[in-house]
Amino acid sequence: MKVCIACGMPMADASEFACGDTTKDYCVHCARPDGSMQSFEEKKAGMINFIIKTQGFDEKAAAQMAENSMKKLPAWKEHFNQ
């Protein structure tokens, strides 16, 4: 089973991969409509909104949680090693 390089979601079924393409390393939630991977800024904003909506944290706390999570993911390493 693959794990999304951009959010960490396990991907077992083709429907969980970007555009149903099991050769992609990122999931349907991290893909743009054209199938390309979202940018760092797009993914971070999406994660912040998801954390606020599902866990009820304020924006500052959600942003910190999103960054802490993203630091552990291969797609975003270059954004934190500067």
In the predicted structure, residue 81 carries a pLDDT above the cut 80: no
> What's the per-residue H, E or C state across the chain?
CEECCCCCCEECCHHHEHHHCCCCCCEHHHECCCCCECCHHHHHHHHHHHHHHHHCCCHHHHHHHHHHHHCCCHHHHHHHCC
Predicted confidence at residue 53, as pLDDT, reads 97
The pTM of the whole model exceeds 0.85: yes
- Output the six-digit token pair for 28: 């349907």
Strands 2-3 and 10-11: antiparallel
| pLDDT number for residue 18 | 97
pLDDT tens sequence across 50-76: 999 999 999 999 999 999 999 999 999
